[in-house]
Amino acid sequence: AIIVLFCFGCSSSKTTVIESMPIRQHPDNPHIFLWQGKPKVFIASGEHYGALINKDFKYDIYFQTLQKAGLQHTRLFLGDYLEGPNAFDGILVGVNSLEPALGSFICPWARSSEPGFARGGNKFDLDQWDTGYFKRLHHLFLEAEKNNVTIEAMLFFVGPSWDIMPLNPSNNINKTEQVGAKGYLVKRAGSKMQTYQEAYVRKLVRELNQYNHFIWNASNEPWLNNAVGLNDAKPEWLGIEMTEETKAFVQQVAHWIQDEEAKLPRKHLIGVDITNEGHLIQQSDLESYYKDFQILNVHYDSHAKSLDLNYHRTDKIITFNETGLTDSTYDPRYRTDGWYYCMAGGGLYGNLDYTFYTNGHENGTFNPVFP
């Protein structure tokens, strides 16, 4: 009887420990998550990643709406990136939470006394942190936790917005190199740019280590300005991958995260976006550039091609973490894409839901219209 009681005590204690751990891979099936002591496949329908950096966005209402809908996940940018009205040829004007109104952008870096930021206000001082940003960051994470919403925290992107980004030398007083959109996500040891990129990563790692309910994303769509086609073909929308130089950069980001977390109590999963749709991931990449990642993300993979080709070749979680811009008459496509991907073995499905917007529409009541 004593042995039975002792075993019950161990089981309860073990369960409590598991439930208080960060999101991790399931020990029996590494293709899905373990969260709060249970196997988990995350389903998301979320705003366009601006909940943190757009001061006008009421993330508390957004998280409450997700919880009521039974959705437990969202993606967000951490502050190196924002968008202007001309992003992606203007197709997102009036629907885009990543396009803060002039003066409403907030990021990790404090403003200097020198005017000239491309989207209003003073330039940034990359040697100083913005206390207001970190207050908002922690409040957002606590609100997400309260509503049982997990977060994919994205560190880097450049997309069409290099001219208005804080690390562009035009927008800071620290004289970072003018690397251009193609050079931002490229490893450049010893440069000012990489020094500030590393400091940004390590600062965010330290700030967020206390939370369990998030995973890292080293970079959203790092191939966008640095794409190569398969087998020397011309890069196209589907099946592209990033250049070797950019693969080396995201590998470096994963190393910064791991190195900083090695000094801290909690260890979090690390992911990166690798392609639109899917193709056979090179074995050499799995063994080198992607070896420190536990999650590999794909976008716009409506036929789960990434799973068909790679599920049995790796023990990493493969996710479909962005699709969007679909006309409302095709709304069932989001559901069928998500169902197909998750039933095929994916660990996560998420679509861009532009019904979430600022100015009172954080509850998903906006009616977006796309060209």
Kind plus residue range of the DSSP H or E element containing 208: helix 192-208
291, amino acid identity? K
pLDDT value at residue 27: 98
Q: What is the DSSP letter of 101?
A: P
Among 324, 368, 363, smallest CA distance to 69 is for 363
9 has pLDDT over 50? no
Tell me if 294 sits within 8 A of 270, measured CB to CB. Answer: yes
Q: What is the DSSP letter of 353?
A: -
pLDDT value at residue 239: 76
pLDDT value at residue 238: 75
362 has pLDDT over 50? yes
Question: How many Å apart are CA 256 and CA 133, to the nearest integer?
Answer: 22
Per-residue pLDDT reduced to its tens digit, 43-62: 999 999 999 999 999 999 99
Per-residue pLDDT reduced to its tens digit, 63-122: 999 999 999 999 999 999 999 998 888 889 889 999 999 999 999 999 999 999 999 999
Question: How many Å apart are CA 301 and CA 274, to the nearest integer?
Answer: 12
pLDDT value at residue 5: 37
Confidence band of 229 (pLDDT split at 50, 70, 90):
confident
178, amino acid identity? Q
Per-residue pLDDT reduced to its tens digit, 326-342: 765 556 888 899 999 99
pLDDT value at residue 330: 58
Per-residue pLDDT reduced to its tens digit, 282-313: 999 999 999 999 999 999 998 999 999 999 99
Model-level pTM?
0.94
Bridge partners, 39 (sequence order): 34
Per-residue pLDDT reduced to its tens digit, 11-53: 455 555 556 899 999 999 999 999 999 999 999 999 999 999 9
CA atoms within 13 A on the CB side of 16: 6
Confidence band of 3 (pLDDT split at 50, 70, 90):
very low
Among 95, 174, 72, smallest CA distance to 127 is for 174
Mean pLDDT of 131-160: 98
Mean pLDDT of 350-369: 93
Higher pLDDT, 7 or 156: 156
232 has pLDDT over 80? no
